[in-house]
Structure 1
Amino acid sequence: MLELKLESGRRWLSEGDIRIPIAEFGVCRGRHQGSVFLLASGPSAGEFPLSRYADWPVIAMNGSIVRCADQQISPFFYICDDPGFVRDRPDLACLGARSAVNLAMSLDCFQALHRYDASVLSQRTEVMLLERVNRMHGVAVRSDRSYAWSVRKDPDLICGFSLWRRKANRIGFSRDMSKGYFGARTIPYAATQLACHLGFNQVFIVGMDLHKSIGRFYETGAAALPSSLDEDFDDYILPSFRVVAEQVMPRYSLKLFNLSRDSRLPASVVPKVDPTELDGLLEGEMAAKDGKRIRVRS
């Protein structure tokens, strides 16, 4: 089985003769700026004209890689922290692993992917390891309460603390992925933390509809994978994005927008924008990119 090993001060994914180096998140922190698109899997992602914004970096996740392939876009990052998705849709996980510039997965996802096709990871020069806060190889290092108390003065980890309610200690936001990330039971939240870590200050989420009944844009009928959105929305998803709205965005240079007009997430938490508003928010970057292309042609 693919295992995580430490050799000569560096971490590797290793099995037999296969050795895949892990690039640490600290190397890429704050290296980027401007806008980024986070591509989720709600039905609205299938309608979004992604190719129109091909000049901007895209962070794809889980099955949303289908949209990137359809639009002939190589995502800047492909991320996955659900081994069940890899086991149930290994074709899509392989597509993401092969086509993305950067690949970040949890250890159990890497292991599931490697079991399906050992050639996929061996073709990459390095990968990045997604790890939850207060976890090592998926096992809690401290109790939730102890961990929340220990990081209460860390500016990179914004989270609650409660002696009575366990859930409150599991909700937060990480500005430094090398210290882990908060799950929130939905992968777009991990992508939001990654975008902030990388230095992007204007983040647009595509396909974050958050309605279990309408499923995902790339699957229908009996082929649709189960979802726990309804069970997790009030307890984890909504409170987590409220942390962003109330504690992260006012204190740090981060603007977060939802491009799904029918998203279950209220506009009071994450503002919703339509295509016209989107172009307005990108206007300055569009002009700069157009000017660069003109200079290159001349």
Structure 2
Amino acid sequence: MAENTLYITDADIATLVNGKTSRDTIIFLSGPTSLNTPLSVLKANDVITVNGSARYLLDNGVSPFIYVLTDSRFLEQRRDDFYAFSQRSRFTIVNRDVYEDASEEDKRYLEQHCHIIRPLYKREKGGFFKKLSLNWIAQRNPHIHVRVPLSKRKRLVGFSTRISEGYCSCHTIAFTALQIAYSLNFERIVFSGLDLTGSCTRFYDEKNNPMPSELSKDLGKILPFFAFAREVVKDMNVFNLSDDTAVDYRIIPHITPDQLSGFASS
């Protein structure tokens, strides 16, 4: 498939928007506090879920609105799970890494059944020409927000408000899911399981095909992205259900399930 027809388009985004069934979306992650989110809240909202977290939803009668995968190791190590999660979700979004590292058979499935998003950069560090290119893109595209440091040793931060233009990656799929949710114009974006505390364990059992979490060592790289998104996207209504999180509530305010349900019924 030609590259210019491979990635998600504005028309694809319109299809996703038209498929919404709720004003809010819950981004259901793998932090342990996700298990504190009432099933009634999950069933009342469009849920964007990631990685192995989808199993809990499906086992409890919640059909994901969007399943997101950005780690190609998951497709390689847990292929049956990926297919089960994708086929039982209304939509699936993967990134370019997942597609490029897939087998030819899996690539055909991804092309036919999934939306593919492309990163705006490979790493947050880089040389002069990379920074020049990103600055040029950001200055000319109102959907791309990037702050590029002068020093090549420092890391850039970014946020995309329209994933058809590309997305800004950091070291957590939660940030990718946030850009997806914002692109779909949900009134409120609510994280479930955005913990990033301690050793950043996942709530689900990974005795079979474990994938070690690297979030704890990457925390210093992750948090500036959320702070940057809050700074540059003034109309983003994003909240966190987690009562045990490394993300400052001044950046992503806390919300309770009761408060969320009250808004939904108002």
TM (normalized to structure 2)?
A: 0.84
Query: Alpha-carbon deviation of 1:112?
Result: 5.4
Q: Distance in 2 between matches of 1:54 and 1:186?
A: 25
Residue 264 (structure 1) aligned to one of 213, 234, 246: 246
Task: Kindly indicate whether the alpha-carbon contact (under 8 Å) linking 1:212 and 1:229 is maintained by their aligned counterparts in 2.
Answer: no
2:180 corresponds to? 194
Contact persistence 1:181–1:190 (CA under 8 A): yes
Residue type at the aligned position of 2:247: L
- 2: CA distance, partners of 1:207 / 1:195: 16
The unaligned stretches of length 5 or more in structure 1 are 13-21, 285-298
The CA distance in 2 between the partners of 1:219 and 1:157, in whole Å, is 37
Query: Root-mean-square deviation (CA), in Å?
Result: 2.8
Identity %: 25
Q: 1:167 to 1:283 in 2, by over 3 A?
A: farther
Is 1:11 the equivalent of 2:8? no
Aligned CA distance change for structure 1 residues 223 and 246 (closer, same or farther; 3 Å): same
Alpha-carbon spacing, 1:91–1:228, altered in 2? closer, same or farther (3 Å): same
The secondary structure found in structure 1 opposite 2:246 is coil
Does residue 162 of the first structure (1) align with residue 159 of the second (2)?
Answer: no
Q: 2:109 aligns with which of 118, 121, 124?
A: 121
Q: In the alignment, which residue of structure 2 is the partner of 1:247?
A: 232
1:219 to 191, 197, 205: 205
Listed one character per residue, the Cα deviations across residues 90-146 of structure 1 (whole Å, up to 9, x for unaligned) are: 23212221111111112442465656x759928x954211210146xxxx9x94312
Query: Which of 55, 71, 74 is 1:85 aligned to?
Result: 74
Q: Does 1:53 align with 2:50?
A: no
1:151 aligned partner: 137
- Whichever residue aligns with residue 5 of structure 2, its letter is R
Number of matched pairs: 257
AA at the equivalent of 1:128: H
Q: How many Å apart are 1:86 and its aligned residue? A: 1.9
CA distance in 2, matches of 1:83, 1:27: 23
Deviation at 1:213, TM superposition (A): 2.0
Residues 261 and 273, structure 1, Cα contact 8 Å, conserved in 2? no
TM-score, length-scaled by structure 1: 0.76
User: In the aligned structure 2, how far is the partner of 1:66 from the partner of 1:262?
Assistant: 22
CA distance in 2, matches of 1:47, 1:220: 20
1:174 and 1:69 map into 2 onto residues whose CA distance is 29
Greater relative contact order, per chain length (Cα 8 Å cut-off, separation 6+): 2
**Cα distance in structure 2, aligned partners of 1:259 and 1:98:** 28
Preserved contact between residue 173 and residue 244 of structure 1 (Cα < 8 Å): yes
**CA–CA separation in structure 2 for the residues paired with 1:150 and 1:234:** 27
In structure 2, runs of 5+ residues without a counterpart are none
Is this contact kept in 2: 1:159–1:173, CA < 8 A?
yes
